[in-house]
Amino acid sequence: NAGVTQTPKFRVLKTGQSMTLLCAQDMNHEYMYWYRQDPGMGLRLIHYSVGEGTTAKGEVPDGYNVSRLKKQNFLLGLESAAPSQTSVYFCASSYSIIMRGYTFGSGTRLTVV
C-alpha cells in the first residue's frame, strides 16, 4: 500500500517552461488536494477535487491548472513557469469525511530559474 505518491521528487525549470506534477493515491479517496509550502507561509491550498471529473480553486490558484480524469490521479500543471512558483508542492488525499484528516505525499521540490 503506497499511499500517496508524487512524481517527480525534484525538478528545475526555466522561466516560461511548462510541466505537470503527478499525484497518485491507492486508498480510494474521494478528495484530493494540491498545496504549496514556502518558508514562513505554511501550507497554502492551490486547487482541490472532491471527486473524479471535478476541480475547484483554493487560496492561490493563479498560474496553475489541474485535472482529475481518474479517481486515483490528480495532476497539477504549470503552463508558463515563473520564479515565484519556486516552492515545495504537496499532494494530499482524504476520505469524503475529512474528519479523518489528509494523507500527504512526500513532496516535489520545484525550482524555477
Partner 1 sequence: GQQLNQSPQSMFIQEGEDVSMNCTSSSIFNTWLWYKQDPGEGPVLLIALYKAGELTSNGRLTAQFGITRKDSFLNISASIPSDVGIYFCAGQLQGSARQLTFGSGTQLTVLP
- The contact set with partner 1 (CB under 8 A) reads 4, 31, 33, 40-43, 45, 48, 50, 56, 58-59, 90, 92, 98-107
Q: Which of 46, 41, 44 is nearest to 21 (CA)?
A: 46
Nearer to partner 1, 15 or 96 (CB): 96
Nine-digit cell string for 33: 488536494
Q: Which of 47, 29, 36 is nearest to 87 (CA)?
A: 36
Give 17 or 37: the residue with its C-beta nearer to partner 1: 37
Which of 14/40 has CB closer to partner 1?
40
Please, what is the minimum distance in Å from the beta carbon of residue 45 to partner 1? 7
96 vs 113: CA distance, rounded Å? 38
